[in-house]
Amino acid sequence: MEKNKNGRKKKKAIIVLADGTVVHGEGFGAVGEVDGEFVFNTGMVGYVESITDPSYWGQILIQTYPLIGNYGVNPEDFESDKPKIRGFVVRECIETPSHKNSVMSLPEWLEKESIPGISRVDTRMLTQRIRVKGTQLGILKVYYEDESIDVDELLEKAKRVHDPNRRNLAAEVSTKNIIEHAPIKENGLSIVLMDFGVKKSIILNLLKLGFRVIQVPHDTRVDKIMDLEPDGILVSNGPGDPAILDYAFKTIRGLIEYGIPIFGICLGNQLISLALGASTYKLKFGHRGQNHPCIDLETDRVCITSQNHGFAVSKESIEDSRLKLTHLNVNDGTVEGVEMEGKPVFGVQFHPEASPGPLDARVYFEKFMKLVEKSKGIV
């Protein structure tokens, strides 16, 4: 059998989508078969952050940038403890990275973490198909070259793939225990972080501002949160359909009555909106990348943002809610931010921690800090 330059047996791979699309390529990472929702990310960098982002739980990630793996894997870039994607799709995967902080190659890492990957495929074609038809359910299978596979059997299996968004994905990636994080420089204020699949960078941004951060599970009750005596509450990002988390927006509704400043990011923005009477819906193919322009309707300032979401708040539903619209996506006019009239509660659909990505939106952490300080009489 033919072997690659590392002396290992060569791997092949196949993608089979529920719509009947079949794509063959080279395999890397782990040998195995996974199913899930195929989505694409347009970022030119940040593949390590994306792979470890809990918001990708249940999904098979396609990178539109054609060259992936060139700077290897650096654990400092991790957004969680390990990869959260189901599988990885690239045009070209680099096996010999070049970067001083790299500890291993991308294929080595994914193999170690049991994540299958496919390369030498037309990612542009797959992305265009998703843009036209919407996100696709399907199967990714990596196998050794001397193995035979039954494509017809895979096609039938692909038609029966369960939509991961019907599960409570946030519950699967949330912390199971309360975790306290010490600030880099103490400011005397505490934030309760409601964890629905939080990125590490969000926690780091709060710690840099001087907050003590208390990370709590997704289903923590109002009374338990209030027993922690928070000065502010951050509702995190996370995977899946926000409408499934009815207990969460009921909790948020209860917390709002205490008048504590509340800041929601991505899924958190959607949960705040649901708590206050708005509704959400699934986008055709989502927003995933580092170059999404959003306009602040109060200042007319446009900022370039990092995004990763497949659901959005309905613009029409805001009119009948207790919210006002604050931000819109310049590309498609979808809701990118809301705030509550008369209470220190707001959310943004984009990721102000932006790691990696533009720094334009970091100011919203500072906005949250000012609201917390004002509520404590500091300013």
Q: How far is CA 181 from CA 5, 142, 213, in A?
A: 45, 39, 5
Q: Any idea of the CA torsion for 248, 180, 306, 45, to the nearest 10 degrees?
A: -130
218 is catalytic: no
Q: Which of 37, 111, 266, 309 is catalytic?
A: 266
Q: With beta carbons less than 8 A apart as the criterion, state whether 39 and 64 touch.
A: no
Q: Where are the alpha helices (DSSP H) in the chain?
A: 47-51, 106-112, 123-133, 151-158, 169-173, 200-208, 222-227, 246-256, 267-275, 315-318, 363-375
Burial tier of 175 (Cβ tally within 10 Å: 0-12, 13-18, 19+): middle
Q: How far apart are the first and last CA of the chain?
A: 71
Task: Specify the 3-state DSSP secondary structure of 277.
Answer: coil
Amino acid code (one letter) for 104:
M
Beta strands 136-144 and 59-63 are unpaired
Q: With beta carbons less than 8 A apart as the criterion, state whether 35 and 158 touch.
A: yes
Contacts of residue 171, defined as CB under 8 A and 6 or more positions apart, other chains included, come to: 218, 219
287 is catalytic: no
How big is the CA angle at 41 (ends 101 and 109), to the nearest 5 degrees?
Answer: 35
Among candidate residues 96, 241, 270, the one with its CA nearest the CA of residue 163: 241
Cα 1 from Cα 326, distance rounded (Å): 60
Cα 21 from Cα 159, distance rounded (Å): 11
Cα 170 from Cα 161, distance rounded (Å): 20
294 is catalytic: no
Task: Specify the 3-state DSSP secondary structure of 31.
Answer: coil
Instruction: Give the active site residues.
Output: 266, 351, 353
